[in-house]
Amino acid sequence: MDDATRTEIEAAAFRRLRKHLMEDRPDAQNIDMMNLAGFCRNCLSRWYQEAAEERGVAMTKEEGREAFYGMPFAEWKARHQTEASPEAQTAFAQSHKD
């Protein structure tokens, strides 16, 4: 497989992951994703921002989030984010000790 084809396939897989998280599973909470997989939508938006900057495209954290979420982050939170359970908060705190 040549590099261009590999890049196209990787980009298509990323777009499908994004669509799945944003459209099919907006109920999957970021804290639950962090506790289970060690990354969430915010991580993906940060990686998007970092990839843009590595290629000379200036992008703020908020611009990266809006590009990934498809809307301002505050709007996404208002529509989809719920209060994390005490158990989820404890699990997150346990797994993110310095």
pLDDT at 98: 59
In a domain, 50, yes or no: yes
Chain-centre distance of CA 94, in angstroms? 21
How would you label 17-52 residue by residue, b for 16+ Cβ within 10 Å and e otherwise? ebeebbeeeeeebbbbbbbeeeebbbebbbebbeee
In a domain, 95, yes or no: no
CATH of the domain at 18: 1.10.3340.10
pLDDT at 85: 87
pLDDT at 52: 96
Domain tally, the chain: 1
Instruction: pLDDT tens for the chain, 98 residues: list them.
Output: 999 999 999 999 999 999 999 999 999 999 999 998 999 999 999 999 999 999 999 999 999 999 999 999 999 999 999 998 888 888 888 887 75
In whole angstroms, give the CA distance from residue 72 to residue 61: 11
pLDDT at 63: 96
Which residue range forms the structural domain that includes residue 78?
Answer: 3-82
In a domain, 87, yes or no: no
Q: What is the pTM of this model?
A: 0.84
In a domain, 34, yes or no: yes
In a domain, 88, yes or no: no
In a domain, 25, yes or no: yes
